[in-house]
Amino acid sequence: MSAVAHLRITLAGAERAVAAGTTYGEALSADGTTVIAARADGELKDLAAEVGDGETVEPVEIGSDDGRAILRHSAAHVMAQAVQDLFPHARLGIGPPVENGFYYDFDVEQPFTPDDLKRIEKRMREIVKQGQAFSRRPVTDGDAREELAAEPYKLELIGLKGGAADAGEGASVEVGAGELTIYDNLDPKTGERRWRDLCRGPHLPTTRVIPAFKLMRTGGAYWRGSEKNPQLQRVYGTAWESREAQDAYLTMLAEAEKRDHRKLGTELDLFSFPAEIGGGLAVWHPKGGRVRRVMEEYSRVRHEEAGYEFVVTPHLTKSSLFETSGHLEWYADGMYPPMEMEGAKYYPKPMNCPFHITIFKARGRSYRELPLRMFELGTVYRFEKSGVLHGLTRARGFTQDDAHIFVTPDQLADELASLLQFVIDLLRDYGLTEFEAELATRPEKFVGDPAEWDEATAALRHALDKSGVPYIVAEGEGAFYAPKIDVHIRDAIGRRWQLSTLQVDFQLPQRFDMEYQAADGTRRRPYMIHRALFGSVERFFAILLEHYAGAMPPWLAPVQVVGIPIADAHVPHLKAVAEQLAARGIRVEVDEGDERMQKKIRNAQKAKVPFMLLAGDDDTAAGAVSFRYRSGEQKNGVPVDEAIEEITDAVARRVQV
């Protein structure tokens, strides 16, 4: 009798011997419901796959980030199967998991209707209940083409498998890594194939493991993201590890809809996007302009205190500037087309950084001037596709609070630590308190000296460690020219927003041949740090508006106080109070309209004004006001001086009420 071959794996930190042919599911004693996949030496695997010798094996739980992605990818397959069951002529595009859900693209004769979505979801539930098995099998290019001959988009992906990263959004879940695989959905009783899809996987063991899902909406999407390609129908869905998790997500979505900054912008008369001007180009109304001015002025004051120099640069430039910077080579698709004048091409600027470099180079620089911190509220223009425009968060014209800091190499680490702390402190002043960060490191394809990359990455890591902000390392996710820190915040309903960026750049100083005179008299090249704090004023405004559900803290509110008289006879008293408040810098109005007092209170509450000062006969006689808050709480007979002090104190301390 021959001995059974054994393999050695590391599991839960301990080395174990297992028989050859052992699956990951067996090695992990996985139930296939809680633990739904494995991670072997960092690579995700199906539970049915066999372990390899020497691997470190870890369980992947369904509620983890990787587990949710696998769950959602599996749900996308179930949805595509349901669509082709109901619409046999539908041709398959791509169906990846995305944040909080999944989608699949289909080529169909008619767009899907709401009733179609109900039918698809019903069919999905039937497939889930059947418990069809997800079964992986490698195939040759030829076999894949033969099997998928009726799927033209899959055939195109097969031809692109070596360049999956460039094949379009979501393509990497289907092809790549040098091997083609197909996943079959198998009948649990007969083993008969019910459906198949080109896919890299991994997947859940069976469809029955999908605990909760819901189809959300449909929309158009160009194949592989190009307007030159056919437009497909995209169906979006969400899937979660439990009904409770899904219900919480759907509740959050309902709350997010109430907080949508586009809706609030209209209701509160803050900004609009006139069709006469063009998509993605906002105009700011007086109330929105007030908030924006306060935001910008406070930021200016804080930057002055931190030693920044203010600069101003034009909105357009000759093409030669962006040729030198490389933007015309790397970023032309995101730029507006040029204007030709006097034999030269002029572009609206998509970035401020090359302009700031010209200021640095306007004269000779000494090491004594470094670090040199330049700051600009610079408006830029980027031609975003109309399908991705989204109010102020994805616009074509916006103002960046852009800073570029020029340092000597030995100043880099301390300057980055100081910059990150400045970013965190200023965001806290706007009422944001939950921070996370990502350190994006050198990708496979990069330019520059690896030693400089290592130095910059170490300096960024030092800044994060010193700040105490929790962070993850996004290996290989840096731009091809520089590593960076991205700072994320969580808003009042738990959504994660990417805000501030710190990026070390060696390439632009080299492309522009930047120099400073060192202490020993030699000419040396500075390092350049890109720092966007808000990202853009518009996007930050939108995030704050949604975070506060339109009820901005008093220091940011467009109208901080409304005086509401019980009768016309009480208007002079409130006007006198308003004059005192205005003298203290408070934005105050007195409602002299014809509505009754209760209607005026409702109007002020609807406008989300922080403070209402009411006055009747007793208040006027006593030199007092009835002090009413946004919450509806009210204090009567408050002396005017006390009311003014309470309001000005809340504004000065930037607290929420």
The ranges of the chain with pLDDT < 70 are: 1-4, 161-178
Q: Is 285 annotated as a binding residue?
A: no
Q: Is 353 annotated as a binding residue?
A: yes
In a domain, 74, yes or no: yes
Q: Which two tokens stand for residue 473?
A: 């390392």
Would you call 530 a catalytic residue per the annotation? Answer: yes
Tell me which of 261, 484, 531, 547 is the catalytic residue.
Answer: 484
In a domain, 512, yes or no: yes
Residue finishing a domain among 256, 276, 299: 256
Would you call 402 a catalytic residue per the annotation? Answer: yes
130 CB-contact burial (10 Å; exposed 0-12 / middle 13-18 / buried 19+): middle
Q: Are 635 and 617 in contact (CB under 8 A)?
A: no
Distances (CA, A) of 246 to 413, 490, 541, 575: 43, 19, 29, 52
Tell me which of 68, 353, 539, 600 is the catalytic residue.
Answer: 353
Q: In this structure, are 388 and 353 located in the same domain?
A: yes
Tens-digit pLDDT profile for residues 546-578: 999 999 999 999 999 999 999 999 999 999 999
Q: In this structure, are 419 and 285 located in the same domain?
A: yes
- At residue 497, the 3 state secondary structure works out as strand
Q: In this structure, are 609 and 567 located in the same domain?
A: yes
Number of domains in the chain: 4
Residue finishing a domain among 501, 526, 548: 548
In a domain, 262, yes or no: no
Q: In this structure, are 169 and 70 located in the same domain?
A: yes
In a domain, 1, yes or no: no
Tens-digit pLDDT profile for residues 133-180: 999 999 999 999 999 999 999 999 988 765 444 555 656 666 655 689
Tell me which of 105, 116, 401, 402 is the catalytic residue.
Answer: 402
Would you call 285 a catalytic residue per the annotation? Answer: no
Residue finishing a domain among 201, 223, 256: 256
Quote the pTM value: 0.86
Domain of 46?
6-60
Per-position b or e across 348-381, b if 16+ CB within 10 A of its CB: bbbbbbbbbbebbeeeebebeebbbbbbbbbbbb
DSSP code per residue over 44-86: EE-TTSBP-TT-EEEEEETTSHHHHHHHHHHHHHHHHHHHHHH
Tell me which of 303, 356, 396, 530 is the catalytic residue.
Answer: 530
Would you call 199 a catalytic residue per the annotation? Answer: no
Would you call 400 a catalytic residue per the annotation? Answer: yes
Q: Is 530 annotated as a binding residue?
A: yes
Question: CATH number for the domain including 603?
Answer: 3.40.50.800
Q: In this structure, are 90 and 53 located in the same domain?
A: no
Q: In this structure, are 410 and 298 located in the same domain?
A: yes
Tell me which of 81, 400, 503, 560 is the catalytic residue.
Answer: 400
SS3 content of the chain, % helix, strand, coil (to 5): 40, 30, 35
Would you call 382 a catalytic residue per the annotation? Answer: yes
What is the Cα gyration radius of the chain? Answer: 30
- At residue 644, the 3 state secondary structure works out as helix
Which amino acid type is present at position 46? D
